């Protein structure tokens, strides 16, 4: 059975841009967010309050939030790794944040400068304080289907990390295939393990990168298992600066094309979205990797 509606969590302005070498001007980021809202997307992950030396592209987080004109009915979540990041986010007026854990030891070290176990005490006060302030918290887990240094990851390990973050008070768990190695059977296994660890499938989101062209098949598999929130990036922008071999996210256009075909409502205007990605591709100086953007705007 498939859902009647899918909520798209658009990560283009954050996951999409964080890996870009040339710093994208604040005005371009703000226009990108405005165009995405105009295309009907209602969750726009806007930026990250991480250490500016770690992700220079998003050092302008506060400026971007100050410069954008928030649209009614649109939320603008941001990534927050620690209490310093939370202080900065709250000062900027943020109401939705996401912490981002790792399912593997190596990626915890490389992405967070913490061991797998040390990540939890870093996130716990962030989640507790945010929830106390009425701020909604999503939990990401990265490397849920494979890690470039450690290889395959046990589904029970992913489930244990995810359940521990959810127990802190997060409202949603986004399972990340950071390097895009998942295939549908493996997606089923991880979702089953997460459900067995006590996380309701209705609070699970999937976050696929399209490195091996499997992101849509994986998404359809997840929808059949009851997932109704899918992360994607306009034009298929993206990658993680701290993950070897990570390429772009599932393109929002590819996702919307499939969901439109299935008669599943997203509220997104594909035409406006493709125009936005074509516009962004010009700003970045290279074509969008999305097949649908190329087919529509080639």
Binding-site ranges for ligand HMG (CB under 6 A): 15, 18, 48-51, 54-55, 79, 81-82, 84-85, 88, 100, 111-113, 140, 142, 176, 178, 207, 240, 242
**What value, to the nearest 5°, has the Cα angle with vertex 87 and ends 83 and 89?**
110
18 binds, among Mg ion, ligand HMG, none (CB under 5 to 8 A by kind): ligand HMG
Candidate ranges 9-17, 29-37, 101-109, 114-122; the one touching Mg ion (CB under 5 A)? 9-17
Residue (18 or 290) nearer to ligand HMG, CB: 18
Smallest distance, Å, CB 89 to ligand HMG?
9
β-bridge partners, 251: 233
140 binds, among Mg ion, ligand HMG, none (CB under 5 to 8 A by kind): ligand HMG
Quick one: 90 exposed, middle or buried, by C-beta within 10 A (0-12, 13-18, 19+)?
A: middle
10 binds Mg ion (CB under 5 A): no
225 binds, among ligand HMG, Mg ion, none (CB under 5 to 8 A by kind): none
* Closest-CA residue to 77 (of 199, 216, 206, 171): 171
42 binds, among ligand HMG, Mg ion, none (CB under 5 to 8 A by kind): none
Quick one: 119 exposed, middle or buried, by C-beta within 10 A (0-12, 13-18, 19+)?
A: buried
Looking up tokens 């500016």 gives: 52
147 binds Mg ion (CB under 5 A): no
As a whole number of angstroms, the distance between CA 57 and CA 61 comes to: 9
């Amino acid at each position: 059975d498939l859902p009647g509606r899918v909520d798209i969590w658009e990560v283009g302005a954050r996951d999409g841009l964080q890996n870009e070498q040339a710093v994208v001007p604040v005005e371009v980021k703000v226009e990108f967010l405005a165009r995405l809202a105009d295309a009907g997307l209602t969750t726009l992950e806007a930026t990250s309050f991480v250490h500016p030396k770690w992700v220079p592209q998003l050092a302008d987080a506060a400026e971007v939030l100050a410069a954008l004109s928030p649209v009614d009915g649109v939320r603008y979540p941001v990534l927050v790794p620690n209490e310093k990041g939370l202080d900065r986010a709250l000062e900027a007026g943020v109401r939705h944040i996401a912490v981002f854990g790792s399912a593997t030891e190596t990626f915890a070290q490389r992405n967070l400068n913490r061991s797998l176990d040390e990540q939890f005490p870093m996130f716990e006060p962030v989640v507790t304080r945010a929830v106390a302030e009425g701020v909604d918290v999503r939990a990401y887990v990265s490397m849920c289907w494979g890690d470039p240094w450690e290889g395959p990851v046990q589904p029970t390990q992913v489930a244990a990390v995810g359940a521990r973050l959810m127990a802190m008070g997060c409202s949603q768990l986004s399972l990340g295939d950071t390097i895009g190695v998942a295939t549908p059977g493996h997606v089923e296994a991880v979702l089953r393990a997460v459900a067995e660890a006590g996380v309701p499938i209705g609070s699970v989101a999937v976050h696929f990168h399209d490195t091996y062209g499997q992101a849509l098949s994986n998404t359809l598999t997840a929808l059949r298992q009851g997932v109704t929130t899918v992360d994607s990036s306009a034009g298929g922008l993206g990658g993680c600066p701290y993950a070897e071999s990570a390429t772009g996210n599932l393109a929002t256009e590819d996702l919307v094309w499939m969901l439109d075909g299935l008669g599943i409502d997203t509220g997104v205007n594909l035409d406006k979205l493709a125009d936005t990605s074509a516009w962004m591709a010009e700003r970045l100086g290279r074509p969008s990797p999305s097949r649908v953007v190329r087919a529509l705007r080639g």
